[in-house]
Amino acid sequence: MSTHEHDDIFEAAAQILLKEDRCVTISFYPGGITIRFPTTRKLAEHLGIPHYYVLPRFGAMERDGLIRRTERVGISTTAAGTERLLAIMAERHGALAEEVLGAGVFTALRARAAAPGGDRSG
């Protein structure tokens, strides 16, 4: 699957983080950034589908190197997933992303996510 085939999940995540939660949890590591993803249950509820339909999609996203699931910790983006999520936020929710994150922070996050060396998975 290409990255864009998961855009409905990334779009739902962006809406939950920016519109519902109005909070984005970001972790920094040398050479990269990860963003905490909403839970699979919250995404399923937002999409109006049963939870068990979301689980295989997350498996595919993990295989495609877009997210990382850690038991008892949660789901976070990989470098590629961070770049895609930030791109969707910019393309579809730019003003809201700037409101929640701050314009300077949002711009800096996008620059760091796209920087060489930002492709490590932390």
In percent, the amount of the chain with pLDDT more than 90 equals 79
User: What's the pLDDT at 3?
Assistant: 52
Question: What span, in angstroms and rounded, lies between the C-alpha atoms of 57 and 40?
Answer: 10
In percent, the amount of the chain with pLDDT more than 70 equals 93
User: What's the pLDDT at 72?
Assistant: 84
User: What's the pLDDT at 51?
Assistant: 92
User: What's the pLDDT at 122?
Assistant: 44
User: What token pair was written down for 105?
Assistant: 């922070």
- Which is more confidently placed, 94 or 114? 94
Domains in the chain, CATH or no CATH each: 3-114 (1.10.10.10)
pLDDT in tens, 31-85: 789 999 999 999 999 999 999 999 999 999 999 999 999 888 899 999 999 999 9
Q: Is the pLDDT of residue 29 over 90?
A: no
User: What's the pLDDT at 121?
Assistant: 45
**Residue 67 φ/ψ, nearest 5 degrees:** -135, 165
**Cα distance from N-terminal residue to C-terminal residue, the chain:** 23
Question: What span, in angstroms and rounded, lies between the C-alpha atoms of 18 and 50?
Answer: 23
User: What token pair was written down for 36?
Assistant: 């905490």
**Residue 26 φ/ψ, nearest 5 degrees:** -120, 135
User: What's the pLDDT at 114?
Assistant: 85
Q: Judge if pTM exceeds 0.85.
A: yes
